[in-house]
Amino acid sequence: MSPEPGIAHRTYSVGIRLAIMMAAVLATASVVTFLELTSRERAHLLNAKTQAATMVADLFAASVSPALDFQDLDALAGEVRHLQSTRDLIYVVVSEIDSAVPLAEWKSDPTFAPPSVQPPPSGISVTDDWVKVSRPILDQNGRKLGETSILFSLEPENVIYQQSRRRMFWQSIGLALGTAILLGAIVRKQILLPLAQLAGAARRLQRGDASEPVVIKSRNEIGELGDAFNLMGQAVTDRATRLTKELDIATRIQTSILPRELAVEGLEIVAQMTPTSEVGGDYYDVLPTDGGCWIGIGDVSGHGLNSGLIMMMIQSMVAALVRNQPEMSPSNLVCAVNDALVDNIRVRLAGNDHATLTMIRYHRDGRLVFAGAHEDMLIRRAENGQVEGIETPGTWVGAIKGVERAMTESSIQLRDGDVIVLYTDGVTEAMDSQHRCFGIERLRLYLASTTKECSVDAICNGILREIRSWMDVQFDDITVLVLRYRSPIGLPRPAIA
């Protein structure tokens, strides 16, 4: 299952990690316990065998002392034969002092080769297969007559030890599994299920649903985390509610200051703006004046509330300047807006935003004078259907003061029936699923495909339809203005389609 958007893919869950850690700890503890218990079992078996062998060797040394003292070899052989009935006996030998030739000897297996290991001072040697006990043979006065060595097999003890080892192994495995299951159940109930509840609540909160609080009955850190999450969810909900109300207010303010009636003598005008969020950063305005109007088009960097705020600053500044000095030049107007924006954005807001802005002074005779940097204007000439791209040279506003030297003022002449398309970069930079931009050439081709009979509404809607069918997801605000010029001495107005 693929992770939800905005949530990192988890390689291992907390439950798996805890299970791995518990398994490692239990395995280590089980191995240490198993080795310790088997070591003690082995030592216990060897100790019991050694004590039994020592007792037998002491009794045998005492029983053969008279026979060795009187050199009664038959009696000595009889004692050896009597010893043969002892369980696990492998080898017995009786020899005199400083004699390499034994007086009596017996082997359970004729092919058995007695070990040549020199016994330690205790007279007891132990290997993995046998226990060897050597004892001096003393007369009644304590004089050493000879020595006897007896070997006992450890095969029965080894069998018991292996059986005990296997039993302890499976007991350790069973104990470890039982403990792991018990700990897993405790961890699942006390940690994993509450964490799963918190994760589900977090996903619901991400979707804006905080109606179902987290209920964790544990009175520990997990319970405190659940209580804190509920408080956080309520706080987030309250803030989101306040923010939604504030955005609604900002949206109403922004939409309320857009021009309601686009009525200018000599111009057919239609405009549409589609922001990516509740508050957009695109700017357009139409301000009628005597003998014409002012037309503004611009785009604030970024999106959202901050961009919308700057956009309203531009709108307010332009409206105030135009109302106060309707005949000022476009370059002076853009420079004045720029200086005020720099103070507001860079100084008061301590931000780094900027905006593209083109201000156009329309005169009733069809003359357009404009200044400021923005997207190229497109003009479809009525006489031949050709589409011209008009550059808007200049500089951005809101970045630095004193842009008068970089500000260029240009002009063009409209003829009857000419159509002008103004737009923001959300049009040309709209991307399809393969990240290809719509581009200005597609906009040119569509505008060239229209006819003189097409109304400005039809052209504007057609442009937006082309963009929506092209783009996969809208990432930027989209604004389109379409204007058609009607000369006072021109041909009769074409029928509106």
pLDDT of residue 26: 80
Whole-Å CA distances, 253 to 70, 248, 262, 301, 414: 132, 8, 19, 20, 34
Question: What does the DSSP assignment read for 473-484?
Answer: S--S-EEEEEEE
* Number of domains the chain contains: 3
Contact criterion met (CB below 8 Å) for 314 and 357: yes
User: Would residue 186 count as lying in a domain?
Assistant: no
The dihedral through the CA atoms of 261, 264, 265, 270 has a sign that is negative
Could you tell me if 221 and 274 lie in one domain? no
**Closest CA relative to residue 53, chosen from 154, 155, 159, 146:** 154
Domain span holding position 234: 208-256
Backbone angles phi, psi at 129, to 5 degrees: -115, -20
Burial pattern 143-155, b for ≥16 Cβ within 10 A else e, equals: eebbbbbbbbbbe
Could you tell me if 221 and 339 lie in one domain? no
Task: Give the separation between CA 197 and CA 200, rounded to whole angstroms.
Answer: 5
User: Would residue 225 count as lying in a domain?
Assistant: yes
pLDDT of residue 247: 64
**Closest CA relative to residue 285, chosen from 245, 314, 323, 308:** 314
Give pTM, 2 decimals: 0.58
CATH of the domain at 86: 3.30.450.20
Q: Which residue has the tokens 């783009």?
A: 471
pLDDT of residue 232: 78
Could you tell me if 232 and 379 lie in one domain? no
128 DSSP assignment? S
User: Would residue 168 count as lying in a domain?
Assistant: no
Task: Give the separation between CA 56 and CA 413, rounded to whole angstroms.
Answer: 131
Give me the amino acid identity at 236: V
Write out the chain's pLDDT in tens, 497 residues. 444 444 444 555 666 777 778 778 888 888 888 888 888 888 998 999 899 999 999 999 999 999 888 888 888 889 899 988 888 899 999 988 877 788 888 998 888 888 776 777 778 988 888 899 999 999 888 899 899 999 999 999 889 889 888 888 888 888 888 888 888 787 777 777 777 777 777 777 777 777 677 777 777 777 777 777 777 777 777 777 777 776 676 666 666 667 877 889 999 999 998 887 656 688 999 999 999 999 999 999 877 778 888 888 999 999 999 999 999 999 999 999 999 999 999 999 898 999 999 999 999 999 999 999 999 999 999 999 999 999 999 899 999 999 999 899 999 999 999 999 999 999 999 999 999 999 999 999 999 999 999 999 999 999 999 999 999 998 888 999 999 999 987 544 444 33
User: Would residue 9 count as lying in a domain?
Assistant: no
Q: Which residue has the tokens 């791995």?
A: 20
Could you tell me if 380 and 401 lie in one domain? yes
Could you tell me if 214 and 278 lie in one domain? no
Count of C-beta atoms within a 10 Å radius of residue 363: 16
For residue 438, the number of C-alpha atoms closer than 13 Å in the C-beta half-sphere is: 29
The C-alpha angle 15, 20, 23, rounded to 5 degrees, equals: 120
Give me the amino acid identity at 158: N
